[in-house]
Amino acid sequence: GVVVTTQGHVVTNYHVIEGANDVQVLSQGRYLKTEIVGYDELTDLAVLRVMEDVHLPAVKMGDIAQVRVGDWAIVIGNPLGEDFFRSTTVGVVSALEREVETDSTDKYGRKTTTTNSMIQVDAAINSGNSGGGMFNVLGQLMGIPSLKYTSSYMSQASIDNIGMCIPINVAKPLIREALEKYDGESVSKYL
């Protein structure tokens, strides 16, 4: 996840916390008690809040309207878990508004297909990068890595470095809602 406020709000992917009974944030070698304060399964986003009194540095949020194809894409995450903790990969924005369909099934067995507009990057995104950040060269958070394409049993095509990130502007309403529940006066400071 990525810390988005100094009050300890963290944005990550829904699929990272889905079904979790206990969620913790690892900071400077310490696990911090955390609560889920908002999520949206359809956009694959979740907002957490660290419940302990610690000061966590927050990232600066960007604006997807400023992203262009060919811009640098800097992806930070934990590929393969703690083995490669805080890894950085670099590439470029390959495409904007790439439509990606995902299927979900509710508790009654009804299947829903959702189409999300994503940022395609060629920076390496691996298992464990989910929920990390995609930044521009100014260090502004521009997206949340969510998935990557790989070869499948149905296709023998070799696929390298086709990753998808959720645009930060898609995450901002969920972050705003979580902040308003926490402290409505500080919302404009962060968004």
List 9, 22, 40, 44, catalytic entry: 44
Neighbours of 118 (CB within 10 A): 24
Q: Catalytic: 15?
A: yes
Which of the residues 9, 94, 130, 146 is marked catalytic? Answer: 130
Asked about 44 being catalytic, the answer comes back as yes
188 catalytic, yes or no?
Answer: no
Structure tokens at 121: 């990057």
Catalytic residue IDs: 15, 44, 130
